[in-house]
């Protein structure tokens, strides 16, 4: 391509710095959001992988048993009697250090060497101290830095055994330092003491071949089994996958809005330069050369935008990773992420996405440029007439995409990517129809605007109609962003409402006593024995329910098992769905039937009447599903079994939670105080909480989970805001002569501002109104397809008027705000100068 052609193009961009930088910013924001989300997801995944590596190391298999572990004599038998040397006992649990949750990994330093890098390579001195000093622990270097401790310092920790002090005798550093983030390593005896698990082991790690494993399987005591190590890791990793995919989709939505912005700007650039491009065609520049020139210019903006986006993404990502980690900690498992690595592959992906979306968005305007006839300076009105003729065709294509998207959304299946494809087709289809809808709205509302605002109203709406080639795209960009807000808003509100109602139904007891877990959202600790008996002696107690929440094992991986001894009203706390087995509660009490939560049924593709196998202390045992119930406590899925049956089959008499039913609910506060006093001398901290407190805490976790969604929504709105500002500046530049004529005819600067605000306000109103149906459709898809396929949750949809009103206000507000500067510029136009320039 001629260097002069390139020079001319670059100078055009430089002469319109606002336009150019807004486009760059649009791409930057779009790419930035995607990169930020990816970085946060990647960091969380990498931290998870490292944490798994540090916990399992080179282990090939693990001997595992019931949820509360097994006797440590099994290890001795394995090593001495069976002669399996590469074996290492592990006891693990959670402890709190200065408000943060850490993994406590109890290991046998003598057996460690073949298993875990880091722990196996300890200096002899640290090694000995770990064994001989009571309360000695090793800490990963990053965690030590974060806590500001050095070898020799003591740390106050909160563990199952209560508040204790431990001494940091060494740091786990070197190449594996990152793998030990959030992990405390102690000698097995120390860990057993801290975790209140004297004489118990959680697992025995093995490095063994298939023959050894096969032989061992037949000789293990009842209730123990050998599992491949990666099976557990895979099951854990899979848990958060839908969560990561959902975040990625939000990031891509921001990029889509950014692409609309590029399309808008480049279309403007082509239309504005139409006479110049016509002259170039006259001078012998071919269609291909013009196409290439516009594309290269766009890609240049895309490149600058993408590079800025990468920087922005890295900056935002470091903040976002905290939100992602918090959600994972709230909902899935404890994860510490302090290492934030930006991989070249991720940067390349961001660059490709930015350039790719720019190229796609610019292809239309580039084709437009290539199609320019050499008859040069056509009048703008001719162009708009051509564009107006194209509008129904665009809407037709949009309708087709919309129908395909709808069909994909309604098609039965489980594919999440397909659900998101449907979502994007619906958005794209709708946005293609937006110009036609804007045309219709501006014409329908013209008489009203004329009556309310006279000629200014008429001029404002006709300006939207006359500049449809750009006003249409600007409204579409804003509409998509606001619709995303509406859709996600309705989904979150519906979800929150469903969860609130579910909590009301599920939490039947008036107050709950539970073991003080090391993670607030979990109640998998064990209450001291005798708590129920003590509670029964108190006056005003109508009854008790008892629950034990454990992670049980099944051939399909770990599963949350809730063992319930039902209280007076407890069975009414289940919102049962679909078919219910005959004599459900009798079968439940007899241990024949279990209840499966909705996510469990979805993930494992089972329903009422199907059989599930669980590893009990007596070996694998099948249970029949008696009913499926709604549960929003965990998307991993949960099975509920009778408490008595569980205690017998798993040989675990422990209780995690006691629900207390009062004779008189109005005496709640009084009873809370009495219960706290009554349980104060147990020697182990317990939580006594009112039903209402748990509900509030659960909803607080819910709100925290969706905080990240709010951040992404704001970013998408930011991109759309820039889109509208960019389009309005473009229109204002282009109409400088019209505005000068109006000023010359005697329109005052104040009236010019009014005209500008009315025009942009109308565009915002159109975007807001059009966003409502699109947003509602998106919400239905998110609620009934995406959420179901991601987490297995079904929920009832709401149409909260607040969300809808907010959306329209947001759209009008964003548009008016974006239009403020162009409106002031319109008012300041000097008629003489503008007319002379033309």
Partner 1 sequence: MPTPPLLEARDLALAYREGSRVRPVLRDVALRIDAGECVALLGRSGCGKSTLLNLLGAIDRPDAGSVTVDGVALGSLTERERTLFRRRHLGFVYQAFNLIPTLTAVENVALPLELNGVTAGEARRQASDLLDTIGIGARADAFPDELSGGEQQRVAVARALVHRPRLVLADEPTGNLDAETGPQVLDLLRGLAAGSGGAQLIVTHSLAVARTADRILTLEDGLVREAGDRLAW
Interacting residue ranges for partner 1, rule: CB under 8 A = 2-5, 7-9, 11-12, 15, 275-276, 279-288, 373-377, 837
CB of 16 to partner 1, least distance (A): 10
- Categorise residue 98: left if φ over 0, alpha if ψ from -120 to 50, beta otherwise: left
Q: What is the number of other CB atoms lying within 10 angstroms of the CB of residue 583?
A: 13
Residue 175 vs 283, nearer CB to partner 1: 283
Cβ(465)–Cβ(421) below 8 Å: no
Nearer to partner 1, 14 or 165 (CB): 14
Q: How far apart are CA 172 and CA 159, in angstroms?
A: 21
Contact 626, 593 (CB under 8 A): yes
Q: How far apart are CA 625 and CA 597, in angstroms?
A: 10
Nearer to partner 1, 2 or 670 (CB): 2
The whole-angstrom separation of Cα 696 and Cα 704 is: 12
Q: Is 629 helix (H, G, I), strand (E, B) or coil?
A: strand
Q: How far is the CB of 368 from partner 1 (least distance, A)?
A: 16
Round to whole Å and give the CA distance between 78 and 85. 8
CB of 373 to partner 1, least distance (A): 8
Task: Kindly state the smallest distance separating residue 329's Cβ from partner 1, in Å.
Answer: 55
Closest distance of CB 385 from partner 1, Å: 13
Q: Which residue lies nearer to partner 1 by CB, 125 or 374? A: 374
Q: Which is nearer to partner 1, 5 or 149 (CB)?
A: 5
Output the smallest distance, CB 729 to partner 1, in A.
Answer: 19
State which residue, 371 or 578, has the beta carbon closest to partner 1.
371
* Residue 87, token pair as written in the block: 């074996």
Token pair belonging to 241: 């996958």
Burial per residue of 795-821, b for 16 or more beta-carbon CB atoms within 10 angstroms, e otherwise: bebbebeebbebbbebbbebbbebbbe
Tell me the chain's radius of gyration from C-alpha atoms: 33
Tokens of 211: 């023959």
Closest approach, Cβ 365 to partner 1, in A, equals 18
Residue among 284 and 802 whose Cβ is closer to partner 1: 284
CB of 413 to partner 1, least distance (A): 47
- Tokens 């020697």 map to which residue? 683
Q: How far is CA 192 from the centre of its chain?
A: 36
Residue owning tokens 């491009």: 277
Within 10 angstroms of residue 264's Cβ, the number of other Cβ atoms is: 29
Distances (CA, A) of 715 to 33, 610, 721: 7, 45, 10
Pick 297 or 598: Cβ nearer partner 1: 297
Cα separation, 645 vs 590, in Å, equals 7
Closer to partner 1 by CB, 10 or 237: give it: 10
Residue with Cβ nearer partner 1 (235 or 835): 835
Minimum CB distance to partner 1, residue 740 (Å) = 16
Q: Please measure the distance between the N-terminal and C-terminal CA atoms of the chain and give it in whole angstroms.
A: 30
Of 3 and 537, nearer to partner 1 (C-beta) is 3
User: What's the DSSP call for residue 518?
Assistant: S
CB of 281 to partner 1, least distance (A): 7
Under 8 Å CB-to-CB from 376, ≥6 apart: which residues?
Answer: 275, 278, 279, 281, 282
The nearest distance, CB 364 to partner 1, in angstroms, is: 20
241-272 and 274-282 helices cross at what angle (nearest 10)? 70
């Amino acid at each position: 391509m001629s260097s002069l052609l390139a020079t001319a193009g670059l100078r055009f961009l430089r002469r319109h710095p606002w336009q150019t930088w807004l486009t760059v910013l649009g791409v930057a924001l779009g790419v930035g959001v995607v990169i930020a989300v990816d970085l946060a997801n990647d960091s969380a995944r990498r931290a998870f992988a490292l944490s798994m590596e540090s916990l399992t190391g080179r282990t090939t298999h693990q001997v595992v048993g019931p949820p509360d572990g097994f006797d440590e004599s099994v290890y001795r038998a394995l090593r001495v009697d069976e002669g399996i040397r590469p074996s290492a006992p592990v006891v693990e649990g959670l402890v709190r250090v200065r408000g943060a949750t850490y993994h406590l990994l109890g290991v046998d330093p003598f057996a460690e060497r073949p298993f875990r890098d880091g722990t196996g390579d300890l200096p002899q001195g640290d090694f000995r101290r770990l064994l001989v000093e009571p309360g000695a622990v090793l800490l990963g270097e990053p965690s030590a830095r974060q806590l500001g401790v050095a070898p020799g310092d003591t740390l106050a920790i909160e563990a199952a055994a209560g508040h204790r002090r431990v001494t940091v005798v060494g740091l786990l550093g070197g190449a594996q330092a990152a793998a030990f983030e959030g992990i405390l390593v102690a000698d097995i005896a120390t860990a057993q003491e801290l975790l209140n698990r004297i004489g118990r082991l959680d697992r025995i790690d093995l490095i063994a071949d298939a023959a050894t494993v096969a032989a061992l399987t037949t000789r293990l005591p009842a209730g123990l089994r050998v599992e491949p190590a990666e099976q557990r890791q895979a099951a854990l990793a899979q848990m958060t996958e839908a969560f990561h995919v959902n975040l990625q989709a939000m990031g891509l939505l921001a990029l889509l809005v950014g692409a609309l912005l590029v399309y808008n700007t480049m279309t403007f650039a082509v239309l504005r330069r139409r006479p110049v491009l016509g002259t170039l065609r006259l001078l012998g520049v071919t269609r291909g050369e013009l196409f290439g020139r516009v594309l290269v210019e766009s890609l240049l903006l895309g490149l600058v935008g993408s590079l800025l986006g990468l920087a922005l993404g890295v900056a935002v990502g470091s903040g976002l990773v905290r939100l992602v980690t918090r959600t994972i900690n709230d909902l899935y498992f404890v994860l510490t992420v302090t290492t934030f690595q930006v991989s070249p592959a991720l940067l390349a992906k961001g660059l490709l996405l930015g350039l790719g979306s720019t190229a796609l968005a610019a292809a239309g305007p580039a084709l437009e440029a290539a199609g320019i006839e050499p008859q040069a300076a056509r009048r703008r009105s001719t162009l708009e007439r051509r564009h107006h003729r194209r509008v129904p065709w665009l809407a037709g294509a949009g309708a087709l995409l919309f129908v395909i998207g709808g069909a994909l959304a309604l098609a039965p299946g489980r594919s999440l990517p397909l659900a998101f494809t449907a979502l994007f087709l619906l958005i794209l289809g709708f946005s293609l129809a937006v110009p036609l809808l804007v045309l219709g709205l501006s014409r329908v509302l013209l008489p009203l605007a004329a009556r309310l605002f006279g000629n200014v109203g008429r001029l404002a709406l006709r300006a939207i109609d006359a500049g449809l080639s750009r006003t249409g795209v600007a409204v579409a960009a804003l509409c998509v962003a606001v619709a995303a807000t509406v859709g996600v808003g309705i989904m979150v509100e519906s979800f929150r409402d469903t969860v609130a109602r579910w909590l009301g139904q599920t939490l039947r007891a008036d107050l709950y006593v539970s073991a003080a877990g090391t993670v607030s959202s979990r109640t998998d600790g064990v209450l001291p024995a005798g708590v129920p008996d003590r509670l029964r002696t108190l006056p005003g107690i109508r009854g008790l329910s008892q629950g034990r929440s454990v992670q049980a094992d099944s051939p399909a991986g770990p599963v949350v098992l809730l063992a319930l001894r039902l209280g007076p009203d407890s069975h009414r706390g289940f919102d049962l769905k679909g078919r219910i087995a005959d004599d459900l509660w009798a079968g439940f009490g007899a241990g024949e039937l279990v209840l499966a939560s909705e996510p469990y049924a979805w993930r494992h593709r089972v329903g009422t009447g199907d059989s599930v196998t669980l590893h009990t202390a007596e070996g694998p045992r099948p249970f029949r599903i008696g009913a499926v119930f709604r549960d929003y406590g965990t998307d991993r899925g949960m099975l509920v079994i009778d408490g008595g049956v569980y205690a017998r089959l798993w040989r675990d008499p422990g209780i995690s939670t006691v629900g207390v039913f009062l004779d008189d609910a109005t005496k709640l506060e009084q009873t809370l105080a009495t219960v706290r006093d009554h349980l104060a001398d147990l020697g182990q901290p317990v939580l006594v909480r009112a039903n209402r407190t748990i509900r509030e805490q659960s909803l607080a976790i819910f709100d925290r989970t969706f905080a990240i969604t709010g951040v992404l929504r704001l970013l998408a709105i930011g991109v759309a805001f820039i889109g509208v500002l960019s389009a309005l500046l473009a229109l204002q530049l282009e109409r400088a002569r019209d505005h000068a004529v109006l000023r010359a005819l005697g329109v005052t600067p104040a009236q010019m501002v009014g005209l500008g605000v009315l025009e942009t306000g109308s565009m915002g109103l159109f975007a807001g109104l059009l966003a409502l149906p699109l947003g509602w459709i998106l919400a239905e898809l998110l609620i009934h397809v995406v959420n179901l396929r991601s987490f297995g949750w079904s929920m009832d949809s709401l149409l909260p008027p607040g969300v809808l009103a907010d959306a329209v206000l947001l759209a009008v507000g964003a548009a008016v705000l974006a239009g403020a500067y162009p409106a002031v510029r319109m008012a300041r136009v000097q008629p003489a100068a503008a007319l002379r320039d033309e």
